[in-house]
Structure 1
């Protein structure tokens, strides 16, 4: 399978707003430190790590919400590392993002139909009503949900709206950033099943960011483990769980709650 993403020696630093500059711009803190990996088309890549590991920064760099300070990101054979907004505009519909908190990412003043339609209008896509209905069908929401407001929905339903908004543009790649962390176990399972089906039915490629390795194990075919802004493990999911190579990965695995006290990952 051809690679949709190629990331080579990726570096990214951000301004440290906690340190007052003496002169000029605020000092910068390195977040990503020389990351290299590929993401084949059709694969679900899990990106896992603790708080401050750089996993969300990596995801935002991949969809160019952040600009790298070094290295290279290639999307479907095109170097997007330093494209300006005009250069990115024709590509934006090809990679989309689902956010962690749907209540903050969905406009509370707009009905669901308008929320899903907004990016379609932005990209000048015709047949919007049909695309909105199609997106609702794909995520398992009845079409009458288009008339509801976000506050009238459950957490799982709101997250489905966020997914519908992302897939309405028919992207090739979706970045899902901690999207089940605020849901109960039942809703988590439903959303994970939905994502797995959408990847298969729509031919999507996905990066799924989480701090929870048990969720990664359920959904992803490969795992990228970040620690301190560096990749410490990059392997098929089954191999990571059966034989972790990095001490940090073993530490993460040991922290997973086990329903069976006699069960062990290691």
Structure 2
């Protein structure tokens, strides 16, 4: 199995009460597949990302990548994991050092992983994400949100990941830019055969982006299927409620 989550659980305590942000969650992902994980705020989507990327530790359950258990990877081994699993964050400006140019941050990742990347290869990847050399030589505050998010995507792409995790990457952008960024991610993943876990609260975006959609509610997976199955033949009351809110 390429990527699989089995019975994953993460609980927190808030105001003296324990609650499950991720509650016995299970799903799988095939190479090159795009899976949208959708649900309202507080459904556990971002916590799931944090567990996969080792930013938080699961209470129970397992995460498998290429049949290896990566649920609790020792810190000294995480660099190898991050070589294969890259994450693009919701707020692009926060993901770059404010005193570094975009180019310096991108090149730092290449050097950190000792990746052979010629100027020609970098230029090719820049063209893929619709960026110019002039633009990436600017500082984060000197570019637009969409341009900064393209730079974040470039920084992940040059590492050569097998799995790309996109955590609400369009929610901080103007409406006119969201579809452009989502479409760009889909084309890149298809071209490079990169699997993608696309976290979003936007069901319309999930429909255009993903091969499958998983609906989360209170940390649980309540429904899963193709985009057409979810939109045309929803089975669960919560899914029907989400879809009705779009009308």
Q: Which of the five TM-score ranges fits, normalised by the shorter chain?
A: over 0.9
Instruction: For residue 18 of structure 1, report the CA deviation from its aligned partner.
Output: 4.3
What are the ranges of 5 or more consecutive residues in structure 2 without an aligned counterpart?
none
Measure the CA separation in 1 of the matches of 2:190 and 2:61. Answer: 31
How big is each residue's C-alpha offset from its partner over 1:23-82, in whole Å with a ceiling of 9 and x where there is no partner?
Answer: xxxx85421111111111111100011111101111222222222111111001111012
- Retained in 1: the 8 A contact 2:110–2:117? no
- Alignment coverage as a number of residue pairs: 247
Measure the CA separation in 2 of the matches of 1:71 and 1:192. Answer: 31
Measure the CA separation in 2 of the matches of 1:150 and 1:128. Answer: 24
Look up the match of 1:70: 60
Identify which of 95, 98, 102 aligns with 1:112.
102
Identify which of 220, 224, 228 aligns with 1:230.
220
Instruction: For residue 11 of structure 1, report the CA deviation from its aligned partner.
Output: 1.0
Under a length normalisation based on structure 2, what TM-score does the superposition of the two structures give? 0.94
SS of the counterpart of 2:141? helix
Measure the CA separation in 2 of the matches of 1:120 and 1:105. Answer: 16
User: Of the two, which has the highest radius of gyration?
Assistant: 1
Identify which of 160, 167, 180 aligns with 2:157.
167
Aligned pairs for 1:183-202 (under 5 A) are 183-202=173-192
SS of the counterpart of 1:117? helix
Cα RMSD for the two superposed structures: 1.7
Identify which of 187, 194, 207 aligns with 1:204.
194
What are the ranges of 5 or more consecutive residues in structure 1 without an aligned counterpart?
20-26, 258-266
How big is each residue's C-alpha offset from its partner over 1:106-164, in whole Å with a ceiling of 9 and x where there is no partner?
Answer: 22211111121122222233446555434322211112222111112111111101111
Look up the match of 1:56: 46
State yes or no: 1:221 paired with 2:219: no
Measure the CA separation in 1 of the matches of 2:117 and 2:168. Answer: 31
- Retained in 2: the 8 A contact 1:116–1:132? no
Instruction: For residue 95 of structure 1, report the CA deviation from its aligned partner.
Output: 0.3
Higher relative contact order (CA 8 A, sep 6+): 2
- Retained in 1: the 8 A contact 2:136–2:151? no
